[in-house]
Amino acid sequence: MSALLEIDNVTLRFGGVVAVNQVSFNVEEGEVFALVGPNGAGKSTLFNLISRIYDPAEGDIRFDGESILGKAPHDIARLGIARTFQNIELFEQATVMQNLLVGRHRHRKSNMWTELAFTPFVRAEERRHREAIEKVIDFLDLQAYRDKYIAGLPYGVRKVVEMGRALAIEPRLLLLDEPASGLSVEETQDVAFWVEDIKKQMGITVLMVEHDMHLVSAVSDRVLALADGQMLSIGKPHEVQNDPRVIEAYIGVSDEKQEVPA
Amino acid sequence: MDVLQLIVSGLANGCVYGLVAMGFVLIYKATEAVNFAQGDFMMLGAFICLGLTNPQFMGLPFWISVPIAIAAMGAFGYALDLVVLRRMFGQSQVAVIILTIALGFVLRFAAGLIWGHEPISLQTPMAGQYVRFGGLVLGLNELIIILVTVALTVILYFYFNRTKLGVAMQASSQNQLAAYYMGIPVKRIHSLIWALAGMVAAVAGILFASKGSIDPSIGLLGIKAFAAAVIGGFGSLPGALLGGLIVGLLEPFASRYIAAGYSQIMPYLLLFLILVFRPHGILAQVHQKKV
Amino acid sequence: MRTVFKTSYDADINLFRHGAQRGWYILLLVVMLVLPLGVSSFAIGEMTNLLIWSIACMGLMILVGQTGQASLGHAAFLAIGCYANVLLQERLGLPFILSFPLAGLIAGIAGALIARPMTKLHGIYLAIGTLAIAILVDDFIVIAAPLTNGVIGLFAPDIDIFGLSFNRYANPERLYYLILGITLLVVLAYRNLQRSPLGRSFAAIRDSEISAQAMGVNVARTKAVAFGISAGITGLAGALMGHFAGIFNNETFNIIISIQLLLAIVIGGLGTIHGAFFGAAVVALLPQAISMTRDLLNQVLGGGSIAIPGLESAIFGAILIAFILFEPSGIYGRWFKIRTYFELFPFYRRDMFRRQKSYLKTERMR
């Protein structure tokens, strides 16, 4: 049986810069897989490749055994891949509920004409979507913010809403881009529990980019360390952390003031 | 010979479009705002010069009223930014577009009140004089329009790419906050650029008025100039001139070789095609947003 | 600022948020229904005109307020709707009851088709592209003179529904009720859109295209659909404008109308149905207000009645500038604040609706 997500020898160049260089790895169904590395290592670029925002120069990306390179960016969610963004891309002029409901777009069964007439079928669908959303709201403890506009919410809550919106898609694979960046210690702990539950209770595979090595080693099954678009090391969290090449990438030759992975 | 004359008059028209388009681009480059009233700035500049020169108004010598008109439009642009546009700081592009459209309405009305709605000609020393090259007869005003436009484009181009202030203007548009941190007085630069755009508009207006009569509605020419700016590539000064020239040449040739009604259509048809196939103009300058 | 205790999902889905709100709207409807009984036929005509403009404003609002796409070219769709409606009646002999919805459909399809290649455009590029379309349609009407009768224009026949005739002068109340009914249907469709997945995907595109796409929204297609619905409703308004004016040509729908339409919804308040009505009220009633003021001034000052050309658009422009500078959320925004003030009295805080000042980053990075 093949892996859920296969990154097969992918290379991406921006002009003369090689952002991702011959990266290959598999994400197995049901695991939490983390990408770590200094800034500019190509982690978010990999996410954008999976989201089909960029086209790889070489290589293939397969989801559930099928190449996604022929798909349009909006088809990715329909395949069952959801994602969050590093710098939060929520719908600011809408409420939390409406944001989460957009996540249900993949499950839309009505069309323009029935919606303009708002037929009983559309109403029944709306109820069904809301039932599904309610589960996400309960799971992430968002009840207090249900009808609040995003524009007025604190950063930490927005991060959670974005995760909720991705869960509303009911994905098979969840891409989390720095889920804990900018969060307090308590909030980061919440994220750790949620990621555990997403994996165990919901059975969703998680691929995440994260700088917080405590979080990474607490929740992930496997870790891939990248630097300058190159694969450095792949394996269990503690193996990767102790890999001399990874340590060198963080504190050795590069001038970047990165935290030493703990 | 006929074709050559068509080309020269088309180029002269195109130069005026190009100058107005440059006004758009100047403001866009430095402030990211789009001044839809640029055509009405041109109209106002032309009328100020006319009001100073023509005997029925003040009757000053032409060569005195030209610098006064240019300076007045510079002051107008500066004041406008100071009083109105500075309050718009940080608002969306479309809000500024709408604001300047409304401003155009007000300017047209004001000009009509002062100078009336009848077409008037600006009395210039160049009017009615011709230059002969062999069998070719060209209007002196058309040649002057072309020369002035080329000179102004070169000056502005070097100003933006070679001088400190010009580079600061570019920087302030790309990221206002970062420009602040770098010690660039963003707000004053914005006012200066509006002043500059006002001056360029005045030059365009005076050149336009030297070709024929004007009335307050000539500001609507700004729409065509805007199309020219987009055709050339918004954000590029030479592109603006190029776009202006293309539109200027397209018009007489379309009405000559297709049918009279088509001279109106062709610029916009070209614009539409450019937007569809090369959305950011011939000399483009756009990047993808990062997530 | 009333707190609604939601006890079922329907509380979110229903048309009105609570019973009191429904009561107010029913009252408004009753007022609209009895209005013709008490006023002159001139005033009925003005109200009819206002309703037609409201439909046009709602059409544009779906695009600009809901989807966040600027359009300076909606007069084109007014024109397409108007010409399609009259030509279907005159050339094909269709009755109004068929030609009217077909005119909306034709305008809508035209809108979607025109928008399809422009869905990658943003901000100024979209503004100028749509402006070009308005100008092209204007010129096309002149060139296609055999069909459209060019600059001479066309007459619109009286609306005739199963032998019942609607004329602005002969029976203004009847026309008013017909157009009120159409307006209500459009409002209902607009509300339905807002509370259904399509409307949410419009809002998603307005706020963040990149994440709308990541949620599975086909951005290009959805934008074209938004353009289509918007152009369709605008086309319906255009068809009614033709009947209301009686005679029309290419100049009836020039670019100034496009621009006025956009300015109207900004004055009214972007993103709300209320805003569309407030904006329409300003556009439709301003000329009358100005001429009445002028007559009044002339009576007081004793001067002759002099028409000042361009005064109307200048005042319109000045109102707009004032709104953008001092109340960017439009008439509706101001009304909302006043209402909140009384609802919360005495707990309203001045900076309750203060927006965060943001620094503009380049829009070249899209």
B-contacting residues in A 185-214 (Cβ below 8 Å): none
- Angle, vertex CA C88, rays to CA C87 and CA C92, nearest 5: 110
What average pLDDT does chain C have? Answer: 87
Secondary structure of chain B as H, E, C letters:
CHHHHHHHHHHHHHHHHHHHHHHHHHHHHHHCCCCCCHHHHHHHHHHHHHHHHCCCCCCCCHHHHHHHHHHHHHHHHHHHHHHCHHHHCCCCHHHHHHHHHHHHHHHHHHHHHHHCCCCEECCCCCCCCEEEECCEEEEHHHHHHHHHHHHHHHHHHHHHHHCHHHHHHHHHHHEHHHHHHCCCCHHHHHHHHHHHHHHHHHHHHHHHHCCCEECHHHHHHHHHHHHHHHHHCCCCHHHHHHHHHHHHHHHHHHHHHCCCCHHHHHHHHHHHHHHHHCCCCCCCCCECCCC
- pLDDT tens sequence across A179-230: 998 899 999 999 999 999 999 999 999 999 998 888 999 999 999 999 888 8
Per-residue pLDDT at A56 = 93
Contact B101, B36 (CB under 8 A): yes
Q: What's the pLDDT score for residue B264?
A: 81
Flag whether residue C303 sits within 8 Å of chain B, measured between CB atoms.
no
CA distance B242 to B249: 11
Q: State both tokens at A18.
A: 């090689």
C212 and A110 in contact by Cβ < 8 A? no
Q: Phi and psi of B13, rounded to 5°?
A: -60, -45
Which of the four pLDDT bands, split at 50, 70 and 90, describes residue A262? very low
Determine contact: A44 vs chain B, CB below 8 A: yes
Q: Which two tokens stand for residue A149?
A: 């506009």
Question: Is a pLDDT exceeding 60 seen at residue A1?
Answer: no
Is residue C304 very low, low, confident or very high in pLDDT (cuts 50, 70, 90)? low
Locus of tokens 């069909």: C147
The confidence score (pLDDT) of residue C45 equals 93
Confidence of residue A17 (pLDDT cuts 50, 70, 90): confident
Per-domain residue ranges of chain B = 2-218
Please give the pLDDT value at position B212: 83
How confident is the model at residue C286, as a pLDDT?
A: 87
Q: Is A204 helix (H, G, I), strand (E, B) or coil?
A: coil
Which of B166-175, B193-202, B217-226, C328-337 has the highest mean predicted lDDT (pLDDT)? B193-202
pLDDT at B189: 85
Instruction: Name the residue among C196, C212, C219 with its Cβ closest to that of A115.
Output: C196
Delineate the domains of chain A, giving CATH numbers in brackets. Answer: 1-80+205-262 (3.40.50.300), 84-170 (3.40.50.300)
Per-residue model confidence as pLDDT tens digits over A45-84: 999 999 999 999 999 999 999 999 999 999 999 999 999 9
A124 within 8 A of C196, measured Cβ to Cβ:
no
Q: Select from C207, C270, C329, C355 the residue whose CB has the most chain A CBs within 10 Å, as the one to mutate to test that interface.
A: C207
Give the C-alpha separation, C278 to C267, whole Å. Answer: 8
Number of H helices, E strands in chain C: 15, 4
Residues present in chain B in total: 291
Residues of chain B neighbouring A12 (CB-CB closer than 8 A): none
Domain ranges of chain C: 1-38, 39-344
Among residues B117, B101, B49, the alpha carbon closest in space to that of B222 is found at B101
pLDDT value for C226: 96
C243's tokens:
């009947």
Q: What does the DSSP 8-state code read for residue A143?
A: G
Question: What would the pLDDT profile of C82-99 be if each residue is shown by its tens digit?
Answer: 999 999 999 999 999 999
ipTM reported for the complex, 2 dp: 0.88
- Which chain A residues touch C352 with a CB distance below 8 Å? none
For chain B, give the percent of residues with pLDDT over 90: 31
Q: Which residues in chain A have their CB less than 8 angstroms from residue B291's CB?
A: 44, 48, 53, 85-87, 89
Question: Of the ranges B79-83, B89-93, B95-99, C12-16, which one carries the lowest mean pLDDT score?
Answer: B89-93
CB contact set of C303 (below 8 Å; sequence gap of 6+): C297
Non-local (6+) Cβ contacts of B209 within 8 A are B46, B49, B50, B121, B122, B124
- Take residue B185 and report the two structure tokens written for it: 């007085």
What's the mean per-residue pLDDT of chain B?
A: 85
Residue B290 has pLDDT above 60, yes or no: no
pLDDT of res. C231 = 97
Share of chain C above pLDDT 90, in %: 48
Q: Which CATH class is domain C39-344?
A: mainly alpha
B118-163 per-position pLDDT tens digit: 898 888 887 777 877 777 777 888 888 999 999 999 998 888 888 8
Q: Provide the sign of the torsion angle of the four alpha carbons B26, B27, B33, B39, taken in this order.
A: negative
